[in-house]
Amino acid sequence: MISIENLTVRFGGVVALDHIGAEFSANVSGLIGPNGAGKTTTMNVISGFLDAHNGHVIVEGTDLVKLAPHKRVQWGLRRSFQKEQIANDLTVRENLMAITDHLRGARVEKRADLERAAEFAGVTGILGKMGRDLNTFERRLTDVARCVIGHPKMIMFDEPAGGLTPEETERLGDLILGIHDLTGAKVLVIDHDVELIERICAETLVLDFGKRVAFGPTSEVLRDPAVQAAYLGIDVEEEHA
């Protein structure tokens, strides 16, 4: 269970998140909303890159807001970025090791864990490739491998399907669906691809202008007139005509 309580973030006078609350119990949940709605801001607060003015994020009894950012990773938080952040001058393997370096455990275990994550994400064949030589899809797959490494408890993907072809998006969706069985982690996905969200996310939170518009089972949420008006830009009248 990921429970977000009363999360509030302000940038100067702008309220980027306004008392957001939601309890995600699904294995894979979605976070959607128009541009500038506050989706990435939500993830940044959960990661600890931004300080919340108010609120808590409680996962398996731990209040993440109280931990330093790197401690959250040790606890089991993983994320990918809207603009991927693979280090160019490291190989894929080194990019993965950069995470296991800071986790507890024996070398052999870490190595086996790395191989398992690479195998799962399908990057075993490119472990020796330099970050700068990866194409968009390989980068996304490396992101997936980074996220499932080292017994994660919660994983967040910020627009993982950005820039991917429909086939690649489908494969990525399958991977994300497999994460819970592999690791037991809860997954939170931001994406503008509603089809992808509908397919992989059982529950979805919709934000607009930093406010919660709707939350619940994805299919219901997507049918909510308020969501269609705010997010999908569909004129409700037209839809019913």
Partner 1 sequence: MRSTTNTIWAVLGLALILVLPAFAGGQWVKIFTSTTTFALAAAGAGFLYTRLGMVSLVQVGLMGVGGWVTLRLNHAFNFPFEINLMVAGAVTMFLGNLIALPALRMRGLYLALITLMFAAGLDIVFTAKQFPNGAEGFWGVGTTFAADMRRPVVAQSDAAYLRYTMVWLVIGFVLIELHRRMAPGRAWALIRKSEAAALASGVNVTLYKTWAFGLSGLLAGLGGGLLAGSLGLLDSATFRASESVMLFALVIVGGARFWYGAVIAAVLFRVVPGLLNNWGVDADLSLVIFGAALLHAVMTAPDGLAGQINGAIRTLIPSRKSDNKGAKA
User: For binding to ligand ATP (CB under 6 A), which residues are involved?
Assistant: 11, 16, 33, 35-41, 82
User: Quick one: which H or E segment has residue 203?
Assistant: strand 203-208
47 binds, among ligand ATP, partner 1, Mg ion, none (CB under 5 to 8 A by kind): partner 1
Residue 40, interface with Mg ion (CB under 5 A)? yes
Nearer to Mg ion, 162 or 178 (CB): 162
38 binds, among Mg ion, partner 1, ligand ATP, none (CB under 5 to 8 A by kind): ligand ATP
Structure tokens at 142: 């490396």
Whole-number minimum distance, CB 225 to partner 1, in Å?
A: 37
Whole-number minimum distance, CB 218 to partner 1, in Å?
A: 26
| Calpha distance 47→62 (Å, rounded) | 14
Nearer to partner 1, 100 or 204 (CB): 100
**How far is residue 92 from each of residues 34, 103, 217, measured CA to CA in Å?**
33, 18, 36
Whole-number minimum distance, CB 41 to partner 1, in Å?
A: 13
| Calpha distance 84→20 (Å, rounded) | 26
Structure tokens at 112: 């086996």
146 binds, among partner 1, ligand ATP, Mg ion, none (CB under 5 to 8 A by kind): partner 1
Most distant pair of Cα atoms in the chain: their distance: 63
Contacts of residue 31, Cβ cutoff 8 Å, sequence gap at least 6: 39, 42, 43, 188, 189, 190, 204, 205, 207
Helices (H), 103-163: 107-121, 136-148
Whole-number minimum distance, CB 37 to ligand ATP, in Å?
A: 4
Contact residues for partner 1, defined by CB under 8 A: 47-49, 69-70, 73-74, 78-79, 81, 85-91, 94-95, 97-99, 101-103, 130, 132, 146
User: Comparing C-alpha atoms, which of 95, 83, 13 is closest to residue 53?
Assistant: 13
User: Comparing C-alpha atoms, which of 235, 219, 225, 234 is closest to residue 30?
Assistant: 219
Nearer to ligand ATP, 11 or 223 (CB): 11
11 binds, among Mg ion, ligand ATP, partner 1, none (CB under 5 to 8 A by kind): ligand ATP
Stretch that binds Mg ion, among 6-14, 22-30, 40-48, 161-169 (CB under 5 A): 40-48
Nearer to ligand ATP, 80 or 183 (CB): 80
Binding site for Mg ion (CB under 5 A): 40, 82
